[in-house]
């Protein structure tokens, strides 16, 4: 029971970035003052302040922040493509000064929250892995998963092939973690699925709050389909591999010293 309690507390603490973002999203959905600052711009400045605060309070290292920002940039590039008038996979209603194309810059911080969570949970649970696939294979699957978000509009959609390949590559991988005193383990694939599920819940909250909406939500909110779990499962691979490579670099640096 003690391990279970610490597991929940550490999970909640690792989600601080995303939790603070979702709290602001919900508050501004029901109440936002009549000021000249657009809601998206307020949320953008608020998210920047959170990121600075995490680094200043040493809850996130500069290296981790750099990886999170890299994921933010890559995800924003995908957002710009997906919200382009010629694609229209989803849209971001509302005005914003801080924007690129049809995308308010705040949108990228929703992905940053995922990267921040993975970086923090790794450290808090002292995570290590058994039978991890070769980093080249893991990296290739992550890059292909990201690329497919663009290419499937023009070529074949290979998402289910990628999901199958990821399950094969990680089928024997276990993550070892320490909630309190004892080391426990779980299949890494189960971890991927659980994280994708909770991101899907956050996506439903965000679309309800009209941070972004899908075409079928233009006239009113509908729950995001479970099929989106596949998209989050694939996109998360990029963030996970970036953090994994950072941890390998840090380990190598520590061994040399």
**Cα angle, residue 119 at apex, residues 144 and 202 outer, rounded to 5°:** 75
pTM for this prediction: 0.90
Q: Which domain holds residue 82?
A: 2-256
d(CA 126, CA 186): 14
Q: Domain count for the chain, please give it.
A: 1
| Strand ranges inside 29-117, DSSP E | 99-100, 103-104
Q: What is the pLDDT of residues 157-178, one digit of tens each?
A: 999 999 999 999 999 999 999 9
Query: How many C-alpha atoms does 241 have within 13 Å on its Cβ side?
Result: 22
Let me know: does 245 contact 71? Beta carbons within 8 Å.
Answer: no
159-163 long-range contacts, Cβ below 8 Å, gap at least 24? 159/230, 159/231, 159/234, 160/230, 162/234, 163/230, 163/233, 163/234
What local confidence, expressed as pLDDT, does residue 171 receive?
A: 96
Q: Output phi, psi for 219, to 5 deg.
A: -90, -10
Q: Is the dihedral of CA 158, 163, 164, 170 positive or negative?
A: positive
Kindly give the parts of the chain with pLDDT less than 50. none
Q: What pLDDT is recorded for position 134?
A: 94
Distance (Å, rounded) from C-alpha 8 to C-alpha 186?
Answer: 15
Using a pLDDT cut of 90, give the percent of the chain over it: 74
Spatial contact of 175 and 129, defined as CB atoms under 8 Å apart: yes
């Amino acid at each position: 029971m003690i391990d279970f309690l610490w597991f929940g507390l550490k999970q909640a603490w690792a989600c601080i970035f995303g939790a603070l973002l979702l709290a602001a999203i919900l508050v501004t959905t029901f109440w936002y003052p009549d000021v000249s600052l657009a809601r998206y711009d307020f949320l953008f400045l608020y998210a920047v302040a959170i990121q600075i605060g995490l680094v200043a309070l040493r809850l996130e290292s500069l290296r981790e922040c750099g990886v999170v920002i890299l994921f933010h940039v890559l995800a924003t590039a995908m957002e710009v493509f997906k919200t382009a008038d010629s694609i229209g996979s989803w849209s971001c209603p509302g005005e914003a000064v801080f924007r690129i194309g049809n995308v308010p810059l705040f949108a990228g911080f929703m992905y940053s929250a995922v990267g921040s969570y993975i970086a923090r949970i790794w450290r808090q649970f002292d995570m290590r892995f058994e039978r991890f696939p070769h980093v080249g294979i893991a990296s290739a699957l992550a890059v292909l998963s990201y690329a497919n978000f663009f290419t499937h509009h023009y070529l074949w959609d290979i998402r289910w092939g990628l999901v199958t390949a990821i399950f094969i590559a990680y089928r024997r991988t276990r993550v070892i973690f320490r909630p309190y005193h004892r080391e426990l383990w779980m299949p890494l694939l189960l971890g991927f699925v659980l994280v994708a599920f909770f991101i899907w819940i956050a996506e439903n909250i965000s679309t309800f709050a009209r941070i972004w909406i899908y075409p079928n939500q233009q006239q009113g909110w509908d729950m995001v389909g479970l099929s989106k779990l596949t998209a989050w499962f694939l996109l998360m691979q990029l963030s996970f591999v970036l953090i994994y490579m950072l941890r390998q670099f840090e380990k190598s640096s520590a061994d040399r010293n």
